[in-house]
Amino acid sequence: MMMDKESGTLQPLEFEYLSKLIPELNECDYELDYVSFDPTVDSSNMNPELWIKLATIIGGQYESFDGFVILHGSDTMSYSASALSFMLENLNKPVIFTGSQLPLGVNRTDGKENFITSVEIASHREDDTPVVPEVCIYFENQLYRGNRTFKYNAENFDAFRSVNYPVLADVGVYIKYNDNAIHKPNFKKLKVHKKLDTSVAILKLFPGIPEAVVRALLGIEGLKAIVLESYGTGNTHTDPSFIAALEEAIDKGLFILNITQCKGGAVEHGKYQTSIALEKVGVVSGLDMTLEAAVTKLMFLLGQEYSGAKLKAAVQSSLRGELSSI
C-alpha cells in the first residue's frame, strides 16, 4: 500500500514504485520477476475470482521459480492464504503472503522488512529442496501456516496470530525454522483447482438473536452451506425453535459446519449438553479450524461438487494442515 498525500487515504501500490522504495532488492542474489494486477486491488476487494487468478498465475509460472511472494493487504490476507492453500494441491514450493500495517513510503513502515524476508524465505533451499513448501503468511518476524491464521490486530505490527498451530519460523538475526511443524514435500505434480462455489454464508450467534434472522439466513435460495459460529466448544442455545430451524434446513440439504467464536481451541460436540442437540440434528463439527479456513474450504469442496457424507468426511479431514487430527 502507499499513502496518497493529498487525500490521506491508503491506495494499492504499483510494483515499480515498490522497487524504488526497496533498493536492496536490486542488490540481492535472487533473480526476481513480478506480475502486477491491472488495476491494482485493495485487499478489501479480494474475491474468489481473484484467488483463481492468483492460483492460475502461480500454476503457469510454477516451473520457472523457486518460490512466490504475494504482496497483499492484511485485512483479507488470511482468507486469501487459506483459499490458495486448498487450490494448490501438491504444492512443493513456498507461496508467501506478506504486506504491512504502515504503508511503504512512511518512515517507520514494516513493509520493507516483511517483503525482504519473505523473498529470502521463498528462495531458501536445503539439499536443493525448498524448506517451506506450503502457503504461508510472513508478518513481523514470524512465519505462519496461512490456513491457520486470523488477523488479530488492526494497529500493531504483529497483526496475525496462529493460536492452534505453532509458527513455522521465528525471524531475528537468524531465521529459525520449526522443521517439525512444516509440511514435507511430496514431489508430486502441482494440481491447480480453479472451481470455487460461493454458496456459503456465516451465522454468528449472539444472545437474543431473533428466530426470524436465523430462519431468513437458513432459507436463502441456492445456499449450500452455513458456517455456524457458536460459543466455547461448540455450544448454542437450545431453544426448540432454533434447533428445529437447523434440523429443517439440514433435512432440505443445507450443510451446517460448527466452529467456535473463540480464537483458540476447538469444537467438541457433546462436551457440554448444549451441543448434543446439534450433533443429533446433523450439524458437523469444524474442530479447530479458523473461520477463514472453514469458509474457503467449503467454497473449495463445493466447487469440487462434494456433498453429503463425502463433504462431511472431507471437511473433517486435514487437506492442507488446516485442522488437527481427530
Query: Please, what sign has the CA dihedral across residues 117, 118, 123, 125?
Result: positive
108 and 229 share a domain?
no
Query: Please, what sign has the CA dihedral across residues 216, 218, 223, 227?
Result: positive
- Classify residue 280: in a domain, yes or no: yes
Supply the CATH number for residue 108's domain: 3.40.50.1170
Q: What is the pLDDT of residue 215?
A: 97
What DSSP designation does 235 have? Answer: B
β-pair type (191-192, 225-230): unpaired
Q: What is the pLDDT of residue 5?
A: 38
Q: What is the pLDDT of residue 100?
A: 81
State how many domains the chain has.
2
- Classify residue 257: in a domain, yes or no: yes
Pull the grid cell for residue 80.
Answer: 486469501
Pull the grid cell for residue 40.
Answer: 491494482
Distance, in Å, from the CA atom of 268 to the CA atom of 261, rounded to the nearest integer, reads 13
158 and 176 share a domain?
yes
- Classify residue 324: in a domain, yes or no: no
- Classify residue 293: in a domain, yes or no: yes
Secondary structure element (H or E) that encloses residue 177, with its range: strand 175-177
Asked if residue 45 lies in contact with residue 12, where contact means CB atoms within 8 angstroms, the answer is no
Asked if residue 45 lies in contact with residue 80, where contact means CB atoms within 8 angstroms, the answer is no
Domain that holds residue 263: 200-315
Pull the grid cell for residue 203.
Answer: 451465522
186 and 226 share a domain?
no
235 and 295 share a domain?
yes
Q: What is the pLDDT of residue 101?
A: 75
Distance, in Å, from the CA atom of 120 to the CA atom of 63, rounded to the nearest integer, reads 18
Q: What is the pLDDT of residue 120?
A: 92
pLDDT averaged per 10 residues, the chain (length 326): 42 59 68 83 93 97 95 94 98 95 72 88 94 96 97 88 97 96 96 98 97 97 98 94 97 98 94 89 97 98 97 97 86
216 and 274 share a domain?
yes
